[in-house]
Structure 1
Amino acid sequence: MRKLRLVFLAATSLIGMAALQGFAPAPEDRSLIDIERASVRYREPGEFIEGTRPVNGPIGEIVVEKPFSIMKRQVTRGDYERCVATKACKALDGTGDPSLPAVGVSFYDAVAYTQWLSRETGQNWRLPSDREWALAAGSRYRDDAYTEISDPANPSRRWIATYNAEAAAEQTIDPAPKPTGTFGENEHGLLDLSGNVWEWTSTCYVRHRTNPAAGTATEVENCGVRIAEGRHRAYMTGFFRDPKAGACSVGIPPANLGMRLVRGEGRLREWLGL
């Protein structure tokens, strides 16, 4: 009981310290969804080369290994502009309704925003990993393998088949940002997944190469390219804001680039050593 009382008093003191240091609570409408138990059939991202031919990445069921909390909605332009006002974030191009999702956001813009929000709130905000995004998306997560065609003598056959399959599956997308909730809610309660805003993840692009004859395998990570998730997976150059100029994968580029953040364990738990 005495130990519990000491922890409570320490917590109360540290909360007061946080207030004195200027930490502000996150806006009330930035509600979070706790992802504690979820599973999804997930394909490993990146490029996979077997010998000399491109192949699909491995696929299998993944589950939540460590629970996490993710924003119910995407970060809005108004959210982002508060960061711009402090000069911690680079201004977005053009103007827009502050209540609509922030779009035209590069990976580095998104990282700057997470750092600013963490400082402002005293909480640990970050981009989700691709696996976390897929688990949170659930039924909205879409496998990015469109064909099993593989012709070592003519790799373009696979590229063309992938493009045609993706184009046939893709509906015409109005790129104009839409009000929160326009694209509905998934089974976990997250809004607007796989709508017209693709969301940055922290996951880097990786090229996997195997040589079955020699029994060797190599991986080369390129963090200048990150994964953005939405109606389909996209590999995007990190500093691009316009997805039509920065898509690194064959197929239709995203309509918009935005973000939705994960909140990690707060500083209070770190201070208390919990």
Structure 2
Amino acid sequence: MTLIRYTSAAVAGLALLTLLQGFAAAPKAPDPAPETVRLEEASVSYREPGEFLDRGTPVNGPRVPLTLEAPLTIMRAQVTRGAYDACVADGGCMALDAPGAAGMPVTGVNFLDAEAYAAWLSAKTGERWRLPTDREWALAAGSRFKDDAYTEISDPANPSKRWIAVYDTESKLQEEIDPDPMPAGHFGTNEHGLLDLAGNVWEWTSTCYRRHHVLPGGEVRETENCGIRVAEGRHRALMTTFFRDPKAGACSVGVPPANLGIRLVREETGVRQWLGF
């Protein structure tokens, strides 16, 4: 009988090969597979989304430094109409209300559509895809992330000052938005290599609407409503989950987005987490 001796390096190599073979045998990704960017470091100045009331007066939430605590893998570009239509054809997603070109970013999707697409893509690839949280989206957006405090004016004795300042800012934002979706890359690339983060397609996040209320006695109370979610883009928007058209009155607070689309995060687990890709 021939005795075969394996070195520790050989054993490690065989183990890695076995893992990779198992990984390769997983269900194939749609063609083409989503292109991703892996962030290992990121930071941004951040306010929690939602409404902040101080004894009944609208105020800005506190602005704090936010730093990425673990690597984040996110789609480089928004999901295309062709990719979404593949989900529809496969029975994983609901058909959309209007036609669209396959290579353009998918628009006219509500939060439930976005969740369905993430579930379908996860099943097709054997990986876990999900919507980003608002914090993750802000970190990925980096310099493209826009503070949603339109004004620092907050005068309890004269709340009309804040209302006028907010109205002026929101009116200007509405004038600047061109509603026609553009091809991927039209609105440029940020410092992390992500496309179109400040364009005219807003992206759903998983973060629920919250109201932060300082009561007359100083007690802080928070209420959460997950029937409204945060959408991110050129500015932050609070959107009713089942509306596909933000211009139809679905925006709960502030300026409505021009379009609603999807960009997903891929969770790093197993071999991917170990190898770092």
Give the structure-1-normalised TM-score: 0.89
The Cα shift of 1:25 comes to: 2.5
1:246–1:267 CA distance, 2 compared to 1 (3 A): farther
C-alpha distance in 1 between matches for 2:79 and 2:20 = 30
Runs of 5+ in structure 1 lacking a partner?
none
Aligned to 1:150: 154
The Cα shift of 1:33 comes to: 0.8
Aligned length: 264
Aligned to 1:139: 143
Match of 1:4 among 12, 27, 32: 12
- Single out whichever of 141-150 and 178-187 deviates more from structure 2: 141-150
* 1:72-130 alpha-carbon deviations (Å, 9 max, x no partner): 10000000000000111001112110000000010010000000000000011011111
Task: Select the structure of larger CA radius of gyration.
Answer: 2
1:150–1:163 CA distance, 2 compared to 1 (3 A): same
Aligned to 2:259: 256
C-alpha distance in 1 between matches for 2:115 and 2:253 = 22
1:168–1:86 CA distance, 2 compared to 1 (3 A): same
The Cα shift of 1:17 comes to: 5.1
C-alpha distance in 1 between matches for 2:51 and 2:200 = 25
1:117–1:29 CA distance, 2 compared to 1 (3 A): closer
C-alpha distance in 1 between matches for 2:69 and 2:235 = 24
Runs of 5+ in structure 2 lacking a partner?
1-7
1:79–1:215 CA distance, 2 compared to 1 (3 A): same
- Does 2:50 match 1:42? no
- Structure 1 residues 1-274: aligned runs within 5 Å: 1=8, 4-5=12-13, 7-8=15-16, 10-12=18-20, 14-15=22-23, 18=26, 23-28=27-32, 30-152=34-156, 155=159, 157-211=161-215, 214-244=217-247, 245-250=249-254, 252-266=255-269
Identity %: 56
Aligned 8 A contact 2:197 2:233 in 1: yes
What do you get for the CA RMSD once the two structures are aligned?
Answer: 2.1
Counterpart of 1:148 in structure 2: which amino acid?
Answer: E
Counterpart of 1:200 in structure 2: which amino acid?
Answer: W
The Cα shift of 1:165 comes to: 1.6
Counterpart of 1:14 in structure 2: which amino acid?
Answer: G
C-alpha distance in 2 between matches for 1:60 and 1:16 = 42
C-alpha distance in 1 between matches for 2:17 and 2:195 = 38
- Single out whichever of 56-65 and 97-106 deviates more from structure 2: 56-65
The Cα shift of 1:175 comes to: 1.2
1:174–1:199 CA distance, 2 compared to 1 (3 A): same
C-alpha distance in 1 between matches for 2:67 and 2:96 = 36
Give the structure-2-normalised TM-score: 0.88
